[in-house]
Amino acid sequence: MNRINQKLKENRKLLSIYFSAGYPELNDTAVIIEKLQKNGVDMIEIGLPFSDPLADGPTIQESSTQALKNGMTSDLLFDQLKNIRKTVEIPLIIMGYFNPILQYGVEKFCEKCAEVGIDGLIIPDLPVDVFHDNYEEVFSKHGLINVFLITPQTSEERIRFIDKISKGFIYMVSSASTTGAKNSFGNVQSAYFERIHAMNLSTPQIVGFGISNKDTFEQATTYARGAIIGSAFVKCLTDQGLNGIDSFIDSLR
Amino acid sequence: MNRINQKLKENRKLLSIYFSAGYPELNDTAVIIEKLQKNGVDMIEIGLPFSDPLADGPTIQESSTQALKNGMTSDLLFDQLKNIRKTVEIPLIIMGYFNPILQYGVEKFCEKCAEVGIDGLIIPDLPVDVFHDNYEEVFSKHGLINVFLITPQTSEERIRFIDKISKGFIYMVSSASTTGAKNSFGNVQSAYFERIHAMNLSTPQIVGFGISNKDTFEQATTYARGAIIGSAFVKCLTDQGLNGIDSFIDSLR
Amino acid sequence: GYYGEFGGSFVPEMLYPNMEELQENYLEIMADPDFKKEFQGLLKDYVGRPSPLYLAERLSDKYKAKIYLKREDLNHTGAHKINNTIGQILVAKRLGKKRIIAETGAGQHGVATATVCALAGLDCTVYMGEIDIARQAPNVARMKMLGARVVPATSGSKTLKDATNEAIRAWINNPVDTHYIIGSVVGFHPYPDMVARFQSVISEEMKWQLKEHEGTENPNYVIACVGGGSNAAGAFYHYLDDENVKLVAVEAAGKGVNSGESAATSILGKIGIIHGSKTILMQTADGQIVEPYSISAGLDYPGVGPQHAHLFQTRRAEFLNATDDEAMEAGLELSKLEGIIPAIETAHALAVLSKISFKPDDIVVINLSGRGDKDLNTYIKYFNLA
Amino acid sequence: GYYGEFGGSFVPEMLYPNMEELQENYLEIMADPDFKKEFQGLLKDYVGRPSPLYLAERLSDKYKAKIYLKREDLNHTGAHKINNTIGQILVAKRLGKKRIIAETGAGQHGVATATVCALAGLDCTVYMGEIDIARQAPNVARMKMLGARVVPATSGSKTLKDATNEAIRAWINNPVDTHYIIGSVVGFHPYPDMVARFQSVISEEMKWQLKEHEGTENPNYVIACVGGGSNAAGAFYHYLDDENVKLVAVEAAGKGVNSGESAATSILGKIGIIHGSKTILMQTADGQIVEPYSISAGLDYPGVGPQHAHLFQTRRAEFLNATDDEAMEAGLELSKLEGIIPAIETAHALAVLSKISFKPDDIVVINLSGRGDKDLNTYIKYFNLA
């Protein structure tokens, strides 16, 4: 069974952390992953940097840009991850835009993911139907789960369809926004969280976008199985480097 | 008999000098006139300064502008000239653009001219036909001769007409140009001078524009009764002030 | 050559042959079917005529009348000026001229002249005040791109009036193979008439366009700004004889009519002669021509076309004015309400909308004589937009 | 949504509802008689269409063919961009949108968008690279005059690509009452198709205008510059199915195709995804998007519209290119021969006249997509005209 599905069975709210591979320093990738596992993080989204990250706010954009400047590439990422499964047990997901993956070759990219022990992919600009029509098979062949997003604007019909074809979890975008930390959620989010909860989906949901601290983590996971923290963690890396990781994760629990 | 007609009877080539009233200094007008007579000049064109002297080149433009800055006005000119006939015998002509005269009132302007002893007017932008239709009578009434211009482009028919209505001399513009000194005349001018000569006009011609020295004076007066020097004299005033007058006139004879 | 007591040909004898040649030929040339065909063809395919007559709905809502804008701003080179220069270059070619001279203030007429000279392959020299050259750099560059020589006028106040003087002097110095393209309905006969005829296409189109839109050829008001007055002359032309159409000419009041810095010629001027024409003119008691002031470089001419002087004197047209401030606000208003940035000249015409009491079904046509791209620096500074 | 293998809708899920709303409604809205009437009315009375088809005689003499210029430079705001923004603002109104966002490079599309927002009374925000804001100050001022907010894009290379990213991000952050007016035939479906349909008026007019001039609707060549490709899309539209009409797309070669400073996407690009569309794209081996270079701010887009990618791949269109130097010389040549100063983008299309062997009776139409006033500073510097 895929590590993601296994993790989703655990009886607690899951904490997932996103960071950009190759940031702050080119070879920090594996170190950060190991530190996150050590601190009890449940799942990790490894960002594959892209020059034009449309769905991201300034914090993650800047970390991507810096990672590219540092020399990050798809090949190098796979190289950095080649021994990661010797030390890391938790699910690892690569989150990246479609063009670098397309250039790498989707099938070859999936092969490499499987080879180094990646469990799933999140590709924000690969539409559900394009994936469904063209790439589902190759993902399955390599044991990779593709994670789809829903937003407050996603129609019920579409949510049902996504629920049907999802094999791991649904990435529930907290609000109409690009990535970036917020300090709290309001009534709009609560209503949205409740509405989705009431739909009784068969796929577990993990909330992302706008979660930055214990409060927002708890709000986001009132109904959902877990939540993803991205920008707030990247900002911590920017400000404090790898030394800030322990206390950042500690503050969330 | 008008002093101009009297002068035209003299048996020699007439030297006429133009300068802008009120230049270089506001009250130089009468002094310059007296000095010119003393040096044997035959006739004087007193320029009434105008803000927009269309037919003049840079030298006379600048002297007009300076004269206006000095405070020159039509009234002041008549005031400067009120005793001129106590000392000066030679013909005096006012040369000016039509608008200041129109604002003064053409009739009143003529009255004042007669009063101070002006013999004629040259108004480059008062067309022959407008003068002929509207102002001939008032000029005659005050004993003023209006001087018309012809140029190398003036048609024979028109020259004949101008000859017919002229009462003093015809101002023969030497070439297609605004005022301004030249060093010599070429074949084009000679042909033009000869052509006019051959027309056997009844009105004497005095040549103006481009005469600056003894050579050009002599060329201009091969056939004509005389010539007018303007820009070259004004330039002399600019460079040497009133002290340059004697030697300037001397150099021409 | 006269409009009532105004107009005429007060030119130095040196220009008499040129004037006579023009006077004797312009009507015949313009009546020639070949000329008409070439002129109409260029107006259509090169200039982009007809210029639209646009019902400005948001402006109409605000001023409670049906306000149409005659879109001369959409002409090639961005103003009505090109109608005249196209016409004159064709006249010049038929007169066998090889060189063209012109004066320009803000540079619009200079650009329009340089444009038609490029088109016709004729040599072009544009006289422009030294001060205007410095402050209208983009239009100077346009003229040079088009192959024209731009000669600074360094006399007098070094602006439009002096550029005109220099152009006339240049013509005196080269009378034979040169044609002088005057940019407005000013100067000696036949210029005011010739330029008005070339610009009359504006009201000619207005008539059939209004007929299409409103079922009537005649608006209640035609409003146009007046410097020399060529755009107004064109917009009024075919309505002159119809007293039901109110003609409104708008002059630049600068910092206020009585501020000493103004270009409201009809109020401040007296009858006089400028550039060969008897008209109303800003001058001293002694007949020296006064340099006017306006924030708009195209309206700071000390005179007004002789026909406008006549329309003013006979009260056939109502002469209003707008200050710098009023014009700038009107320009900004049109930009924000209709998405059209007008030339500051044109903005003066817009500025009187608030000064006239319209009836709700009044049809008003404003001649939108030019676009404001050339004035961006002035707008930017004035409204602190940078 | 596809042209061969190109096109599609590679958008983040956050934009799915907006994309779906547009995809489901745009054809129906555009087919509605009320929409058509309003769109046609504005194109005529506000934009100034039809734009003339002008036989450039001196240019024709030089290049030994019958060369026509389709005068999009005479449109309101000075380029073809307004055809599309007029169309999209009417779509946005019918979708009940209250706010408009747009990206812009040189500022022409930003100005065209700010213009239609003023006209429609809708709130307008334009994203523009921080570097472009500094070097295109006049267009920034125009947008502000028109009441738009101009927001600097500070990410990436701070030019057009990044402004587009910022606009998309802004839309993600305000998906409900906002419409994004893309300025070219790029982005996800339905944008390339919708923009091409709005621009297709160019070739629609060309057909009847050529019929009038030449007795045939079809030229031998249609030539247009391509950045994103909207003017070319409009000029090619009604000729796509007629193989006798040669379509020539001209890309910017910058300092030379292989100089490392170029925007010749068809030669230098590979298939990839940019701004939601699969197309040909300048990118690294690793799929990172490369910043292109051209002296013309409107051609330095790293991709090309998906339809153009298809036309390139199928060889239906011939893709040529022109360097900075070639384009600048061609711009100056048109100015001096025809009195028309073209946008530097457009000058690239003119620059290939010397690279094609025409037959003397070939009919050639060049889409004169925009006027060069916005480029005067560049021309001045390049030719040292100041």
pLDDT digits (tens, 9 = 90+) for B66-106: 999 999 999 999 999 999 999 999 999 999 999 999 999 99
Dihedral, CA atoms, C56, C330, D372, D212, nearest 10 degrees?
A: 20
Q: How far is D1 from chain C (nearest CA, A)?
A: 33
pLDDT at C204 over 70: yes
3-class secondary structure per residue, C85-134: HHHHHHHHHHCCCCEEEEEECCCHHHHHHHHHHHHHCCEEEEEEEHHHHH
Average pLDDT over residues A33-45: 98
Cβ–Cβ < 8 Å for C70, C53: yes
Torsion sign (Cα): D252, D254, D257, D261: negative
Minimum Cα–Cα distance from C124: chain D residue: D336
Between C173 and C279, residue with greater pLDDT: C279
Nearest C-alpha neighbor of D102 from the set D87, D115, D114, D119:
D114
Angle subtended by helix axes B231-240 and B58-70, to nearest 10 = 60
Give φ, ψ of D130 to 5 degrees: -55, -40
Contact list in C for residue B130 (CB cut-off 8 A) is: 8, 10
Asked if A163 reaches chain D (Cβ–Cβ under 8 Å), the answer is: no
Q: Do B104 and C286 touch (CB under 8 A)?
A: yes
Does the active-site annotation cover A62?
A: no
CB A223 within 8 A of CB A16: no
Name the residue among C156, C173, C286 with its Cβ closest to that of B73: C286
User: Average pLDDT in the C265-289 region?
Assistant: 97
Nearest CA in chain C to D123: C336
- Chains in contact with B, where contact requires at least 3 CB pairs less than 8 Å apart: C
Contacts of C147 in chain D (CB under 8 A): 335-336
Contact C156, C194 (CB under 8 A): no
In this predicted model, what pLDDT tens digit does every residue of C112-155 receive, in sequence order? 999 999 999 999 999 999 989 988 888 999 999 999 999 999 98
Are the Cβ atoms of A153 and D289 closer than 8 angstroms? no
Helix, strand, or coil (residue D185): coil
Pairing between strand C317-323 and C53-55? unpaired
Please choose, from the candidates B177, B218, B160, the residue with its C-alpha nearest in 3D space to the C-alpha of residue B15: B218
Neighbours of chain C (3+ CB pairs under 8 A): B, D
Nearest CA in chain C to B72: C286
Q: Do D288 and A124 make contact, defined as CB atoms within 8 angstroms?
A: no
Residue A69 CB partners (closer than 8 Å, separation 6+): none
pLDDT in the model for residue C308: 98
| pLDDT tier at B186, thresholds 50, 70, 90 | confident
- What pLDDT was estimated at residue B181? 66
Model confidence at C176, pLDDT cuts 50, 70, 90, reads confident
* Chain B interface includes C177 (CB < 8 A): no
pLDDT bracket for residue B110 (50, 70, 90):
very high
Select from D71, D118, D145 the Cβ nearest to the Cβ of C385. Answer: D145
> Considering only CB atoms, which chain C residues are within 8 Å of D336?
118, 145-147
DSSP element (H, E) containing D7: strand D6-7
Contact C156 B52 (CB under 8 A): yes
Asked whether the beta carbons of residue C146 and residue D76 sit closer than 8 angstroms, the reply is: no
Token match 């036989």: residue?
A: D55
Q: What pLDDT was estimated at residue D135?
A: 81
Give the one of A54, A62, A104 whose C-beta lies nearest to D165's C-beta: A54
pLDDT tens digits for C304-324? 999 999 999 999 999 999 999
Give CA separation, C87 vs C70, C184, C189, in Å: 20, 13, 16
Whether A22 has its CB under 8 Å from any CB of chain D: the answer is no
Give dist(CA D118, CA D143) in Å, integer: 10
- Distance between CA atoms of B147 and B166, rounded to whole angstroms? 7
- Mean pLDDT calculated for residue range B150-171: 96
Residues 6 or more apart in contact with residue C382 via CB below 8 angstroms: C295, C328
Please pick, among D262, D266, D369, D374, the residue that the annotation labels catalytic.
D369
Interface of C with B in 252-291 (CB under 8 A): 270-276, 281, 283, 285-289
- Which pLDDT score is estimated for C223? 98
**Contact state of D10 with A127 under an 8 Å Cβ cutoff:** yes
* Selection from D196, C377, D147, C171 nearest residue B54 by Cα: C171
d(CA D100, CA D124): 5
Examine chains D and C and say if they touch (3+ CB pairs below 8 A): yes
CA–CA separation, C34 and C30 (whole Å): 9
Give the minimum alpha-carbon distance from D53 to chain C in angstroms, rounded to a whole number: 6
CB spacing of B99 vs C13 below 8 angstroms: no
What is this structure's pTM? 0.96
Number of inter-chain CB pairs under 8 A, B vs C: 112
Mark which residues 183-242 of A lie under 8 Å from D by CB.
Answer: none
Q: Name the DSSP class of B97.
A: -
Instruction: Specify the 3-state DSSP secondary structure of D87.
Output: helix
Q: Which chains touch A (3 or more CB pairs under 8 A)?
A: D
Of B52, B98, B125, the CB nearest to C289: B52
Instruction: Give which of A48, A50, A52, A60 to mutate to test D binding, by max D Cβ within 10 Å.
Output: A52
Picking from C48, C118, C376, the nearest residue to D51 by CB comes out as C48
Q: Do chains B and D touch (3 or more CB pairs under 8 A)?
A: no
Chain C nearest-CA distance from D146, in A, is 5
How many angstroms separate the CA of residue D170 from the nearest CA in chain A?
8
Nearest CB partner across the interface for D74, out of C74, C147, C380: C74
Contact B31/C at CB under 8 A: no
Chain B residues whose CB is inside 8 A of the C273 CB are 97-99, 102, 125
At D333, which amino acid appears?
A: E
Residue ranges with strand state E in A49-176: 92-96, 120-122, 145-146, 148-150, 170-173
Asked if the Cβ–Cβ distance from A104 to D287 is below 8 Å, we say yes
Q: How far apart are CA C368 and CA C382, in angstroms?
A: 21
CA distances from D290 to C274, C320, D192, D227, D254 (A): 62, 58, 22, 15, 14
Task: Give pLDDT tens digits for A191-216.
Answer: 999 999 999 999 999 999 999 999 99
Q: Does B127 touch chain C (CB under 8 A)?
A: yes
Active site residues of B: 45, 56
Q: Give the mean model confidence (pLDDT) for residues C21-34.
A: 98
Query: Domains in chain B, ordered, with CATH?
Result: 12-250 (3.20.20.70)
Mean pLDDT taken over chain C: 96
Q: Which residues of chain D neighbour C142 with C-beta distances below 8 Å?
A: 341, 373, 376
Residues of chain A above pLDDT 70, percent: 100
pLDDT for res C225: 98
Read off the pLDDT of residues C68-106 as tens digits, 9 standing for 90 and up: 999 999 999 999 999 999 999 999 999 999 999 999 998
Model confidence band, residue B6 (pLDDT cutoffs 50, 70, 90): very high
pLDDT at residue C68, rounded to an integer: 98
Residue B155's identity, in one-letter code, is S
Q: Are residues D17 and A154, on separate chains, in Cβ contact within 8 Å?
A: yes
pLDDT at residue number C293:
94
Inter-residue contact D47 to C39 (CB < 8 Å): no
How many Å apart are CA D217 and CA D227, to the nearest integer? 27
Q: Do the Cβ atoms of D336 and C58 come within 8 Å?
A: no
Q: List chain D pLDDT tens, one digit each, 386 residues.
A: 899 999 999 999 999 999 999 999 999 999 999 999 999 999 999 999 999 999 999 999 999 999 999 999 999 999 999 999 999 999 999 999 999 999 999 899 999 999 999 999 999 999 999 989 988 888 999 999 999 999 999 988 888 999 999 999 999 999 889 999 999 999 999 999 999 999 999 999 999 999 999 999 999 999 999 999 999 999 999 999 999 999 999 999 999 999 999 999 999 999 999 999 999 999 999 999 999 999 998 898 999 999 999 999 999 999 999 999 999 999 999 999 999 999 999 999 999 999 999 999 999 999 999 999 999 999 999 999 87
Calculate the alpha carbon distances from B4 to A46, B35, B168 in Å. 107, 19, 6
CA pair distance A7, A14, nearest whole angstrom: 8
Annotation says C97 is catalytic: no
By C-alpha distance, the chain C residue nearest D328 is C145
Which residues on B lie below 8 Å from C283 (Cβ)? 99, 103
Structure tokens at D30: 């555009």
Q: What is the rounded distance in angstroms from the CA atom of residue D265 to the CA atom of residue D271? A: 10
At A181, is the pLDDT very low, low, confident or very high (cuts 50, 70, 90)?
A: low
* Residues of chain C neighbouring D327 (CB-CB closer than 8 A): none
Residue with tokens 């070097």: D135
Residues of A in contact with D275 (CB under 8 A): 54
Tokens of B195: 């052509």
In contact, C228 and C185? CB cutoff 8 Å = yes
Enumerate the residues of chain D whose CB falls inside 8 A of the CB of residue C86.
none
Please tell me which residue in C60, C266, C369, C374 is annotated as part of the active site: C369
For an interface test with A, give the residue of D288, D290, D291, D301 to mutate (most A CBs within 10 A): D288
